[in-house]
Amino acid sequence: MTLPNAISMTRAGLVAPVVWFIALGHPALALAVFSLASLSDLVDGPLARRRHEVTALGTFLDPLADKILIVGTLAALAVQGAAPAWPVAIVVARELVAVEVRVRSPGLAASADGKAKTVLQVIAAAALLASLAWPSAGLATAAGALLVAAALLTVLSGVMLVRRAA
């Protein structure tokens, strides 16, 4: 196993403590772990390219790890009532479609809209966690708006992904 692939797998695995901290009512800890996991996405791809360790497994694992982290975090937030269910359902549906599309079209490269979607999803999830951690900061409205924007971009990038694969 290459180091970049291990980083991707660790990112996916970190969803468990994020969900656990959300469930236990420790959103600041969830945010810390979520942030660390999210930042690892900035490392694995460049590291794989620099070390000449780009693999088919890594090309599949990296976006899958992102999906696991985002979907798990948003689902836990929705269960806790910290995120409305409808944008979370949109994100879950799109990510399931994306996994299926990527399995059927393994050579399909990541696109700018897909990367922007992931960044906005990460920011929205982090904002939701921050709004739970520090309710007096008044972040809930902005966090909700970010989640709606992420859901809209998620739909758009999903449509574009399916069109590219067709």
Q: What is the pLDDT along the chain (166 residues), one digit of tens a residue?
A: 899 999 999 999 999 999 999 999 999 999 999 999 999 999 999 999 999 999 988 888 999 999 999 999 999 999 999 999 999 999 999 999 998 998 888 878 888 999 999 999 999 999 999 999 999 999 999 999 999 999 999 999 999 999 999 8
DSSP state of 108: P
At 103, phi and psi to the nearest 5?
-65, -40
**CATH number for the domain harbouring residue 38:** 1.20.120.1760
Do 152 and 143 meet the contact criterion of CB atoms below 8 Å apart? Answer: no
- Please give the residue range of the domain that contains residue 46: 3-165
Q: How many domains does the chain have?
A: 1
0.85 exceeded by the pTM? yes
